[in-house]
Amino acid sequence: MKRKLISAVGVAAMMAGAVACGSDGGDNSAKDPKDRDETLTVWLMVDAQSTWPELVKDVNAQFRKKYPKVDVKVQYQQWADKAKKLDTALGGDSFPDVVELGNTETMQYILNGALAEIDPAKYDNSDTWIQGLKDTCSFEGKLYCVPYYAGARVAIYNTEMLKKGTGSDKLPATEDELLAAMDKVQAEYGKKDRRFSPLYLPGRYWYAAMSYVAAYGGSIAEYDEGAKEWKASLSSPDSQKGIEHFVNLVKKYNKADQTKDEQDHANVMANEKAAVIYGNGWEAGSVVDGKNNGNPKLEGKISTAGMPGPNGKALPSFIGGSDLAVTSKSKVSDLAEDWVSMFTSEKSQEVLTSKNILPNNTKQLEPLKAKPETAPIANAVPDAWFTPIAPGWTSIEKEEVLENMLLAILKGDSVADAAKEADAEINELINQES
């Protein structure tokens, strides 16, 4: 399924009001850079702290060379409570000048005027930014954030387990072949450990569930051009087929707690309780990283491949990732823009690609399509799907509507009833500006 995205014109027709722009640094912007003595506060997620800390260090050094008196304060945030902390900060006097946002979060902050408009000409490779990231920064033909990095989900698998169970260390190319292989791996390892899952799909893993919905041509919601609003569509026949397919896989192959989400699935694989998981490409590294609860003994045994999906096709992946925005309340927005420009430069993106992280642009993405370690995830980007770019989407995530629907099905509700209830909740939230 192609991503069903609302156009900027559609959003404009649905929502009234202007989006505020940030200040330009006032009189200070005219000063010699070496005389600027303000403070710049940057909120980054912990991924940068744990996975590419040298990039942050190098960019801060580069920034300090240009602005020696400016105090750059990088504050690392956790995904679990970032949104709540940001909302509180923006409502007060102590707020970040630069903030990292997950690409499903941006529209809420664009519509409520929290983000300043950006000029794409100030940023490297803006003419080749990955569309799925650029779309989440767009409103009324203007941009309010800068794509940072992209992500797609792939199959992550233990080659040794596959070899022992099936005779081959390669992931099968079709879903029918994959499931046959999982049955053999289960027979090999399940007899020794009843909690072993050949294919570990957590039941509340909505990104995975919606990938199966996309595989059948379904969607979470569709934009009604006539009514000028979003309408939930999980009850459609195609969407229900995808939900049912996912739930059946969970019930058959997840031998552990089926009611969990995916937050610790890399650790499950690290503990050798699973042969295959469906995750972000970088999670393959987490499986073997001894510093982050991984298992170094599995080094060289963990590989990635495109996840086979229904009907003989690859499973469509959610295109995740992060964007960087300058808050409209910032009094040093020109400094903030310059820092973001350095942090997302072509040179900075090279640091990310060296760690097999997908860059923000197709120019630097292209070589990763041929690199064995990144080919599966890089090639998943063009046909990826995305969540509705709607004003109330963040509220839907906060209320865990999709997770609760999946949990209800696992506890015995029919797919039709659970989808109908989820649709009702989505329709209450999706068109509301938070």
Cα–Cα distance measured from residue 389 to residue 290, given in angstroms and rounded to the nearest whole number: 38
**The two structure tokens encoding residue 268:** 């499950």
Dump the DSSP string for 274-303.
EEEEEEETTHHHHHH-GGGT--GGGTTTEE
Cα–Cα distance measured from residue 25 to residue 351, given in angstroms and rounded to the nearest whole number: 30
Dump the DSSP string for 160-181.
HHHHHHHS--SPPSSHHHHHHH
Phi, psi of 138 (to 5 degrees): -100, 140
Cα–Cα distance measured from residue 373 to residue 305, given in angstroms and rounded to the nearest whole number: 9
Query: What letter represents residue 97's amino acid?
Result: D
Question: What is the predicted pLDDT for the residue at 26?
Answer: 53
Question: pTM of the entire structure?
Answer: 0.80
Question: What is the predicted pLDDT for the residue at 27?
Answer: 67
Question: What is the predicted pLDDT for the residue at 434?
Answer: 63
Beta strand pairing call for 153-158 and 221-224: unpaired
Cβ atoms of residues 143 and 134 within 8 Å: yes
Cα–Cα distance measured from residue 180 to residue 186, given in angstroms and rounded to the nearest whole number: 10
Q: What is the CA radius of gyration of the chain?
A: 22
Cα–Cα distance measured from residue 367 to residue 292, given in angstroms and rounded to the nearest whole number: 29
Question: What is the predicted pLDDT for the residue at 293?
Answer: 85
With a cut of 70, which residues of the chain have pLDDT below it? 1-27, 434
Cα–Cα distance measured from residue 57 to residue 48, given in angstroms and rounded to the nearest whole number: 10
**The two structure tokens encoding residue 134:** 């650029």
Cβ atoms of residues 169 and 179 within 8 Å: no
The residues near 254 (Cβ < 8 Å, ≥ 6 apart) are 197, 199, 200, 201, 202, 203
Question: What is the predicted pLDDT for the residue at 64?
Answer: 98
Question: What is the predicted pLDDT for the residue at 13?
Answer: 33
Which residue in this structure is represented by tokens 């996309």?
A: 214
Reported as a single tens digit per residue, the pLDDT across 59-112 is 999 999 999 999 999 999 999 899 999 999 999 999 999 999 999 899 989 999
Cβ atoms of residues 202 and 254 within 8 Å: yes
**The two structure tokens encoding residue 317:** 């992946």
